[in-house]
Amino acid sequence: MMDKDVLDELRCHSNGCDDVRIAACKSNSGAVKELVYCQLDKCYYVTVDGRERLRSDTPATAYNFFSGPAPE
């Protein structure tokens, strides 16, 4: 049986959403951060608890934001 994450990913790709999740972690405050690459826009972005906080054309900028403390 497929889990919910796999089904969500399949549904996302069928709707034209080609975001690739690179990394995820939970900060000390409990916020979940994700580093994502958007193939449609050809850029990297970071989400904190599901909200986009930074979008950048360079992976280094996005990674530095991802590695730092989560903004509240």
Residues 19, 39, 62: CA angle, nearest 5 degrees: 75
Q: What is the pLDDT of residue 12?
A: 63
Tokens for 55, please give them. Answer: 């979008």
pLDDT score, position 41: 81
The amino acid present at 7, given as its one-letter code, is L
Neighbours of 33 (CB within 10 A): 21
Which residues have C-beta within 8 Å of that of residue 70, sequence separation ≥ 6?
27, 29, 31, 33, 48
* pTM passes above 0.85: no
Segment 1-55, tens digit of pLDDT: 446 676 666 566 555 567 888 899 998 888 899 999 887 788 899 999 989 999 9
The residues spanned by each domain of the chain are: 19-67
